[in-house]
Amino acid sequence: MREVAIIGIGQTKFGELWDLSFREIGIQAGLAAVYDANVASEDIEALYVGNMSAGRFIEQEHVAALIADYSGIARDNIPATRVEAAGASGAVAIRQGYFDVASGLHDIVVVGGAEKMTDVPDAQGAAIQDSAADQQWECTFGATFPALHAMIAQRYMHDYGVPREHIASVSVKNHKHGALNPKAQFQKEIKLETVLRSALVAEPLRMFDCAPLSDGGAAVVMCSMDKAWKYTDSPVKILASSQSSDTLALHHRSTITSFGATKAAMRKLTKRTGVDVSQINLAEVHDNYTISELLALEDIGFFPAGQAGKATVDGQTQIGGRVAVNTSGGLKARGDPIGATGVAQIVELVTQLRGEAGKRQVSNAKYGLAQSVGGTGSTVVMHLLGVA
Amino acid sequence: MTIARFWRENSPRYNLQASKCGNCGKISFPPRTVCPNCHRKSIGKMQEFQLSGKGEVFSFSIVHDAPAQFQKQKPYIVALIKMDEGIMITGQIIDCELDKVEIGMRVWASFRKLGEEGPGGVIHYGYKFHPEL
């Protein structure tokens, strides 16, 4: 296995991008990454695109070929592949690009992710998100994607005696970070009361516990480490990539207050890198719901079970705390264009590790950890990045 | 969903028909062709198994932002039910005040209408749960 570096990053603004089509979003992100990497289009040997459901959001399948075409690289006949794993689509795409370069098959690969969610009405967008869960045995019986996470939150509060406010504080913290990110969908701080008084979605979760429907794209350029210096003075290394799965339906787990797939992916990452969680002070985790961030922080090992909410309230997960979590604003404030999300996490970590994060810069970060989740913990992908 | 997609799952959905591994005894719902514990040792040994329909609430949520087919029922309770046989099932809880549902509450399954394929379309039936009588 060769060492792999990220030499370019790009991201569109996330939000309700009514004036931009899916293909324009994909191209904007891709071109920004290619420009940042300073590579010529003929140097690109493969393209991966993370996308969950273009077929249902814009009635367009075959989107990898579409992006390759409109970004002008199709004429070079490179392989262009779409990758789908619900919420983890972008992260699995990152992993495919990593394999290509690590294996020696390709030297330079572009990995993008994009989703166009606001061309359908909100209710339809929510129904499409539900399809990450088991349609036949969960959704048919009235469970929605938010309701499944609400049941996790309900049981979590029951088992650990955690107050509702602790869960809500994740949203407050992520909005605080998002306010510092010019690419974020919501660049506004909120109060705890805003979360607790927002519309009920699935009790106990309210609107401000949930990531929004978003449009957006993100992309990175990967290169073998030995050639990376040719293009950039600040390559960021992918130290390891890991992926784990679990049952599709939540009801088939022995516990729902922890994701076994996150724990397994973290174990693999630690084994492959020798980097202990105590050495990590920068992380992007999958806060599609406030409760999800608490589970992630506990399953990764930043905090003991039942303690991540208290840690959030105490400021331990904000910039300047024990570990800066979701400095981009996370899915909640940066936005969650599903296929782009896992790639955007990597874009944020690279920005931080290069020292280019401006007002939200985390000091002394040697490593950056990304955790991306598909479904209710059915797919978990993790990457550990480090300064080269 | 299409008619055939519902119809082929009628047996477990109407009757809470599960499967039991002839090798280790693990019960699965919906029924599985391969036991997740025993893998190939279970092939050809999976038996039908009838669930009692009794269990308790493991967790729940009250759904306010409801999908199109549940609009008339909102707000409604959806729950993870830990069946007495040890397995867990997702289902609605009916005939229960919203503020009365709690973790540990005993419930029984009953046969109800789940939805329909539009006006004049096929009606889908299956299990829902109500508080123990």
Q: Quote the pLDDT of residue B119.
A: 83
pLDDT of residue B3: 80
| A342 and A371 together in one domain | yes
Q: Is residue A131 part of a domain?
A: no
Enumerate the residues of chain B whose CB falls inside 8 A of the CB of residue A150: 61
pLDDT band at A26 (very low <50, low <70, confident <90, very high): very high
Give the pLDDT score at A73. 86
> Buried b / exposed e across B32-43, counting CB within 10 Å, b at 16+?
eeebeebeeebe
Q: Count of domains in chain A?
A: 2
- Collapsing DSSP to helix, strand or coil, B80 comes out as strand
pLDDT of the residue at B55: 98
Domain shared by A57 and A101, yes or no: yes
Q: Which residues, listed in sequence order, are joined to residue A387 by a DSSP beta bridge?
A: A236
Quick check: A7 contacting B, CB < 8 Å?
A: no
Mutate to test the interface with B, among A131, A140, A213, A246 (most CBs of B within 10 A): A140
pLDDT tens digits along A162-206: 999 999 999 999 999 999 999 999 999 999 999 999 999 999 999
Nearest CA in chain B to A156: B59
Would you tell me how many other CB atoms lie within 10 Å of the CB of residue A138? 26
Residue A132 amino acid letter: A
SS3 state of residue A358 = helix
A363: number of Cβ within 10 Å: 10
pLDDT above 70 for B1: no
Q: Which tens digits make up the pLDDT trace of A92-107?
A: 999 999 999 999 999 9
Interface test with A, best of B3, B26, B57, B61 (most A CBs within 10 A): B61
Query: B75: cis peptide before it, omega within 30°?
Result: yes
Residue at A129 is within a domain: no
Task: Encode burial over B17-29: b for 16+ CB neighbours within 10 A, e otherwise.
Answer: bbbbbebeebbbb
Q: How far is B121 from chain A (nearest CA, A)?
A: 16
CB–CB of B59 and A251 under 8 A? no
Burial of A185: CB neighbours in 10 Å, binned 0-12, 13-18, 19+:
buried
Predicted pLDDT at A167: 98
Domains in chain B: boundaries: 52-131
* A347 and A252, same domain (yes or no): yes
Q: Is there a contact between B63 and A144 if contact means CB atoms under 8 Å apart?
A: yes
* CATH (domain of A177): 3.40.47.10
Q: What mean pLDDT comes out for the span A310-317?
A: 98
> Whole-angstrom Cα distance, residue B133 to residue B118?
33
Query: Between chains, do A250 and B80 touch, taking CB under 8 Å as contact?
Result: yes
Q: Which residues of A259-285 are buried (b: 16+ CB within 10 A; e: fewer)?
A: bbbbbbbbebbbeeeebebeebbbbbb
User: What's the whole-number average pLDDT of chain B?
Assistant: 95
Place of tokens 């729950």: B79
Selecting from B59, B68, B126 the residue whose C-beta is nearest the C-beta of A154 gives B59
Residues A310 and A356 in one domain: yes
> Which domain, by its residues, includes A108?
4-121+213-236
| Residue A358 forms part of a structural domain | yes
Q: Which residues of B touch A (CB under 8 A)?
A: 1, 5, 9, 30, 58-68, 70, 73, 75-76, 78-80, 87-92, 103, 114-115, 124, 126-128
Query: By three-state DSSP, how is residue A246 classified?
Result: coil
Query: How much is the ipTM here?
Result: 0.97
Phi, psi of B18 (to 5 degrees): -110, -175
CA distances from B81 to A68, A76, A174, A229 (A): 47, 55, 33, 56
- Would residue A128 count as lying in a domain? no
SS3 B73: helix
Q: What is the b/e burial string over B45-67, where b = at least 16 CB atoms within 10 angstroms of the residue's CB?
A: ebeebebebebbbbbbbbbbbbb
Tens-digit pLDDT profile for residues A206-261: 999 999 999 999 999 999 999 999 999 999 999 999 999 999 999 999 999 999 99
What pLDDT, on a 0 to 100 scale, did the predictor assign at position A1? 92
Q: A295 and A225, same structural domain? A: no
Task: Give CA angle at A18 (A13, A24), nearest 5°.
Answer: 65
A144 and chain B in contact, CB less than 8 A: yes
Q: Nearest CA of chain A to the CA of B71: how many Å? A: 10
State the Cα–Cα distance between residues A236 and A319, nearest whole angstrom. Answer: 21
Residues A113-142 pLDDT 10s: 999 999 999 999 999 999 999 999 999 999
> Most A CBs within 10 Å: which of B71, B90, B128, as the mutation test of the A interface?
B90
pLDDT given for residue B5 in this prediction: 86
Residues A179 and A55 in one domain: no
Name the CATH code of domain B52-131 (choices 2.30.130, 1.20.1440, 1.10.3290, 2.40.50). 2.40.50
The residue among A236, A269, A304 that closes a domain is A236
- Cβ distance B75 to A200 less than 8 Å, yes or no, reads yes
Whether A12 contacts A51, CB under 8 Å:
no
For residue A292, is pLDDT > 90? yes
| pLDDT tier, B118 (very low <50, low <70, confident <90, very high otherwise) | confident
pLDDT at B117: 84
pLDDT band for position B6 (50/70/90)? confident
- The rounded distance, in Å, linking the Cα atoms of A102 and A82 is 19
Which of A236, A269, A296 is a domain's end point?
A236
- What share of chain B in percent tops pLDDT 70? 98
**Confidence class for position A158, pLDDT limits 50, 70, 90:** very high
Position B101 scores a pLDDT of 98
A254 and A327 belong to one structural domain: yes
Domain-embedded: residue A291: yes
Residue A74: predicted pLDDT: 80
Residue of A278, A271, A249, A255 whose CA lies nearest to A367: A278
Residues A117 and A159 in one domain: no
- A191 with A326, same domain: the answer is yes
pLDDT tens for each residue of B72-86: 999 999 999 999 999
